[in-house]
Amino acid sequence: MTREIKVRGRHVDNGEWVYGYLIGQDVIVGSIVEWDSEYFNTEFWYKVNPETVGQYTGLKDRNGKEIYEGDILQDDNGVGEVEWVQEHCAFMVFTRNPSTYHRLESDGSLTSTTVIGNIHPNPDLLEVSP
């Protein structure tokens, strides 16, 4: 089984999310629509803020929404941010209260997990109450 490798990032001009394939660190392009041995043309290309780029995890929340790196999830463990953790070679959710990681695993549909936002426009969703 192959997993779809795609990313999203926020367009530098209007802040809207752009979905597609990353070229370099700050350009997201759509599918290739025409090509030959010397030329190719993509459906679109947009310059994005590289700090907002996040990869698709291959998973969806209980509502069928795709989960990306940087998304804020709410589940039985609380509220946390999806991060790539290199030492585990996995996408994991880092919860702030208590401060723990848990692995983001599933058959593709997380039945008790909901995407409630993204860290870039909504960092306040991760604030821990005293």
Provide the domain count of the chain. Answer: 2
Judged against a pLDDT cut of 90, whether residue 29 lies above it is answered with yes
Range of the domain at 17: 1-52
pLDDT digit string, tens, across residues 44-85: 999 999 999 999 998 899 899 999 999 999 887 778 899 998
CATH label of the domain that carries residue 79: 2.30.30.290
Percent of the chain surpassing pLDDT 90 = 43
Judged against a pLDDT cut of 50, whether residue 113 lies above it is answered with yes
77 and 126 fall within a common domain: yes
d(CA 101, CA 111): 19
Last residue of a domain, one of 16, 31, 52: 52
The answer to whether 49 and 42 have CB atoms below 8 angstroms apart is no
124 and 77 fall within a common domain: yes
Instruction: State the average pLDDT over residues 7-26.
Output: 95
